[in-house]
Structure 1
Amino acid sequence: MLAGHLQEKGGKYYAVLNCKHHDGKRFPKWVPTDLPVKKGNKRPAEKKLDEFRVLYNEYGELISEIEEIVSPSILEQSCTVVSHTGDMLFADYMLYWLSYKETEVDPVTFAGYCESVENHIYPYFKELGLTLSQLEPKHLREYYRFERIGDPEHGKGSKKGTTVVHYHSNIHNALEVAMGDGLVGKNAAHKQRPKTDKFVGSFYLPEEAMECIRLAGGTWLELAVLFGLFYGLRRSEIVGLKWQNFDFDRNLFTIAHTVTTFQRKGQKRVCYAKDKAKNKSSMRTLPLIPLFRDKLLAMKEQQKEHRRLFGNSYNRKYLGYIYVNEIGELIKPDYISSTFKKFLEKNGLRHIRFHDTRHSCASLLLRNGVSMKEIQAWLGHSDYGTTANLYAHLDMEESMLVSAERLSTGLFGALPGPTPDPGKPNQSAGKKDEDTKEIVTPLRLVAI
């Protein structure tokens, strides 16, 4: 039986059925109930929905044979059984939950739900044929184990623990809705969250960060590398930067707009822009240091010149955005990730993900004595626990180094250095001064 839900539109109730084309691409089929949205009509509309879920096949086609053979009373009885006893297949219920969530979350989040449910959860449990009432915790544990191990014989690779946790989250949320609707008496996913390995992000040391910034200069990656390593901005936040969010008089800028990409099965990847950040804490205002201020003002003048040179060929869709190329096209988040990887390989730099520039920023802040609470605000984490969990090991390393230095000084005093040869110039001292000047400068900036 099809998954579906009620939706209000134009003052009337519609049944929205979760169907698919013959090529596998899913689509919502809207069927009118002819019932106006008013008190007393919701229950009759729900009965109509149950009827439509039986009368239409998975491709959204009316099954005329059912309409001719099954009497309305028998049809109503069968729908009532399915709706109130949990005899719907669990796999089909996940599709119902998916159609229900489409109107509650933004397109990017919904695309993630679709990828999890349609490509992984649904196929596995459809083959098992378990109903909602038959689903037990052991079935979920077996599924999570299957996803972690994979199925090499059929070309299915293993999944990371964090990916399987996303699957679990979808299942848990769907079963919570089923409980609320009275379809099941308990949530089989309760306390079944799969374990994950503790995440330890990679990060660049100060000299590596400086070399990365130097080599990125003059390339389309320069802006992303600068904002990633110094401010710890996410890709979506960098691409979403707009001129209107910069106050060059007060030397401040605000993270208030993001751009992300998503892709549904069988569709092209599209950009999604929104005037909000990942969470409330991510909407933050940061100081604009002179180095960035001068570079951005130069970019602003350069964009004016590009608009003049290219005239009507200049893409004016993204006017107001900072991160555009010479013809006004927005630099996409996916471009940053893919080009950053090639950039590191080409220049012989140690491999890290672009998101690890964010971790590198946190490491530089810690090295300069910035507290965890301040780092939380700088990076825009929603709560202190997130910051502490991600970077506690860095904080511990710094504390251990300080403790070792103090203990060494307390026990042994200041150890004498090598005696210089008066007949030879101190060549290493000069080199050290040059290196120190290049490395320490960004650290002082980070501490501002």
Structure 2
Amino acid sequence: MAYVEKRGKNKWRLNVVIGYTPEGKAIPKRKTVEAKNKTEAKQKLSEFEVEVLGGNYFEPAKITLEEFYHHHWLDKYANDPDSLSHDTRRDYIQVMETRVLPKYGHMKLADIKTIHILDYLSDLKKPNGVRLDGKPGPLSSSRISNCFKAFKNVLQRAVDWKFIKENPADAVDRPKAKSEKTDVYSEEEIDYIFNRLNNYSFIWQVLIPLAFVTGAREGELAALEEKHINLEKPSIYIEQTIVEVKGEGVVVNDSTKTERTRYISIPKFMAILLKKLIHIRKQEKFQAGSQWEWGDHLFLFGNEVGKPIRPDSISQWWRRFTQKQNIKHIRFHSLRHSSATHLINKGVHAKVIQERLGHTKMDTTMSIYAHVIEEADQKSAAHFNSFFEDKTVGGNSKI
């Protein structure tokens, strides 16, 4: 059953009954349209009826973006540990609450169009005034890309859960994260750093070289336990991370950033250092007795009662260390880049480096280290010179 109702000048409400309640009350789908007269309204009614009965009609949601974010996306998606990694969840929430909701949160989901996504990206690309830390300059291409992914992810959940028919961000190409040259330490600088560590506690004498040798992230290093160390076949097993959750403190997340576990071979000198550290940690656990806070866990980089080190405290210590020792300061995370750069320059295959770093795709490794690989490739060309020395070209000219 379908019928039209006049709602005002050139305004008509289309009604298509899709069923009845147990009490016999009609259940209609409605849509208000503009039409010059009843004949034109009936034509639109016929089209609307076909759309509804064919299952192709999508009723626009009246819920706002902010309401959907707080009452649906956060509760049903973001807070589900199987949906997003801890770091991605934290990043998406930060982007939504500082960049998206203040400008678009009041809008109804159905009213957000592709032009709004384009405006959002345009604002992110401004040369100044967009950094949350107040510093001058633009956002990096990777940051812009992540901000786009956060907004698109929320809208996609709205599509999946039938709040809106289409994702307005689908029509926009994701900004590409350009490969930017990352500052790294040279071999001489790494050697100097290792020497300066002799003045610090043994934990740091192990943690810093291990970060360089393995390329592991702060959270992965903080989560290392005795069970993850293979001293017979020197290697470590990365399977978990330490994260700090607001309101809960330090917790163990039983997955890595990319949800990939991996074995990383280490040199013998590193295995010797780890063996000594494990012995020290076992003694500390014995002395702590009932005061030991983490049960059967034996974190390599923890305090005297077993609590693991916070990932952010590693970076804080690193800044103080480099400043005090008059060492060029780059982010602690850049020890990971220094590790990869060192291996590339030594001719290690990119696939091996990908596995050591835990990248899900080779493209990620190639993109991040594109400039290093290109420089190494240029240097490698010199290895072919010996084939052409004292040779002639065309029978007369020497190369």
Q: TM-score, normalised by structure 2?
A: 0.72
TM superposition shift of 1:234: 1.1
The separation in 2 between residues aligned to 1:410 and 1:287, in whole angstroms, is 39
Contact 1:252–1:286 under 8 Å retained in 2: yes
Query: Which ranges of structure 2 fall in alignment gaps of 5 or more residues?
Result: 1-57, 392-399
CA 155–394 in structure 1, closer or farther in 2 if over 3 Å, else same: closer
Contact 1:224–1:238 under 8 Å retained in 2: yes
Residue 335 of structure 2 is aligned to residue 357 of structure 1? yes
Residue 298 of structure 2 is aligned to residue 320 of structure 1? yes
Residue 367 of structure 2 is aligned to residue 389 of structure 1? yes
Structure 1 residues 240-288: Cα deviation after superposition (integer angstroms, max 9, x where no partner)? 111112232333331122212244xxxx5722312322335x3112234
Amino acid at match of 2:76: Y
TM superposition shift of 1:236: 1.4
The residue that corresponds to 1:205 in the other structure is: 186
| Partner of residue 237 from structure 1, selected from 220, 235, 242 | 220
The residue that corresponds to 2:240 in the other structure is: 257
Contact 1:94–1:171 under 8 Å retained in 2: no
CA 297–207 in structure 1, closer or farther in 2 if over 3 Å, else same: same
The separation in 2 between residues aligned to 1:311 and 1:177, in whole angstroms, is 49
3-state secondary structure, aligned to 2:251: strand
CA 156–91 in structure 1, closer or farther in 2 if over 3 Å, else same: farther
| Partner of residue 111 from structure 2, selected from 134, 143, 150 | 134
The separation in 2 between residues aligned to 1:253 and 1:397, in whole angstroms, is 30
The residue that corresponds to 2:34 in the other structure is: none
CA 303–132 in structure 1, closer or farther in 2 if over 3 Å, else same: closer
Contact 2:281–2:298 under 8 Å retained in 1: no
Residue 254 of structure 2 is aligned to residue 287 of structure 1? no
Residue 353 of structure 2 is aligned to residue 375 of structure 1? yes
The separation in 2 between residues aligned to 1:313 and 1:179, in whole angstroms, is 51
3-state secondary structure, aligned to 1:304: helix
The separation in 2 between residues aligned to 1:346 and 1:156, in whole angstroms, is 27
Contact 1:86–1:184 under 8 Å retained in 2: yes
CA 155–113 in structure 1, closer or farther in 2 if over 3 Å, else same: closer
Cα root mean square deviation, aligned? 3.1
The separation in 1 between residues aligned to 2:250 and 2:139, in whole angstroms, is 26
Residue 68 of structure 2 is aligned to residue 93 of structure 1? yes
The separation in 2 between residues aligned to 1:105 and 1:283, in whole angstroms, is 18
3-state secondary structure, aligned to 1:221: helix
TM superposition shift of 1:343: 1.0
Residue 148 of structure 2 is aligned to residue 165 of structure 1? no
The separation in 1 between residues aligned to 2:84 and 2:389, in whole angstroms, is 60
The residue that corresponds to 1:276 in the other structure is: 255
Contact 2:213–2:266 under 8 Å retained in 1: no
The residue that corresponds to 2:100 in the other structure is: 121
The separation in 2 between residues aligned to 1:312 and 1:272, in whole angstroms, is 20
TM superposition shift of 1:316: 4.5
CA 410–330 in structure 1, closer or farther in 2 if over 3 Å, else same: same
The separation in 1 between residues aligned to 2:95 and 2:242, in whole angstroms, is 22
The residue that corresponds to 2:319 in the other structure is: 341
Structure 1 residues 47-74: Cα deviation after superposition (integer angstroms, max 9, x where no partner)? xxxxxxxxxxxxxxxxxxxxxxxxxxxx
3-state secondary structure, aligned to 2:74: helix
Q: Where do 1:407-418 residues align within 5 Å?
A: none
| Partner of residue 215 from structure 1, selected from 196, 214, 226 | 196
TM superposition shift of 1:205: 0.9
TM superposition shift of 1:210: 1.2
The separation in 1 between residues aligned to 2:145 and 2:152, in whole angstroms, is 10
Contact 2:350–2:365 under 8 Å retained in 1: yes
Amino acid at match of 1:135: I
The separation in 1 between residues aligned to 2:232 and 2:365, in whole angstroms, is 31
Amino acid at match of 2:374: M
The residue that corresponds to 1:84 in the other structure is: 59
TM superposition shift of 1:397: 0.7
Structure 1 residues 52-97: Cα deviation after superposition (integer angstroms, max 9, x where no partner)? xxxxxxxxxxxxxxxxxxxxxxxxxxxxxxx932232233333332
Amino acid at match of 2:64: L
The residue that corresponds to 2:17 in the other structure is: none
| Partner of residue 163 from structure 2, selected from 176, 183, 188 | 183
Contact 2:214–2:266 under 8 Å retained in 1: no
CA 92–315 in structure 1, closer or farther in 2 if over 3 Å, else same: closer
TM superposition shift of 1:360: 0.7
The separation in 1 between residues aligned to 2:111 and 2:285, in whole angstroms, is 63
Report the count of equivalent residues: 325
Give aligned-pair identity as a percent.
21
CA 98–362 in structure 1, closer or farther in 2 if over 3 Å, else same: same
The separation in 1 between residues aligned to 2:258 and 2:85, in whole angstroms, is 16
The separation in 1 between residues aligned to 2:232 and 2:85, in whole angstroms, is 37
Structure 1 residues 128-164: Cα deviation after superposition (integer angstroms, max 9, x where no partner)? x432222222212222333443658x99666444333
CA 276–185 in structure 1, closer or farther in 2 if over 3 Å, else same: closer
Query: Which ranges of structure 1 fall in alignment gaps of 5 or more residues?
Result: 1-82, 414-448
The separation in 1 between residues aligned to 2:352 and 2:102, in whole angstroms, is 45
The separation in 2 between residues aligned to 1:94 and 1:404, in whole angstroms, is 57
Contact 1:236–1:333 under 8 Å retained in 2: yes
Amino acid at match of 1:172: K
Per mean C-alpha deviation after superposition, the further-off stretch among 287-296 and 383-392 is: 287-296
Q: TM-score, normalised by structure 1?
A: 0.64
CA 292–151 in structure 1, closer or farther in 2 if over 3 Å, else same: closer
TM superposition shift of 1:310: 4.7
The separation in 2 between residues aligned to 1:155 and 1:253, in whole angstroms, is 36
The separation in 1 between residues aligned to 2:134 and 2:104, in whole angstroms, is 16
Contact 2:341–2:372 under 8 Å retained in 1: yes
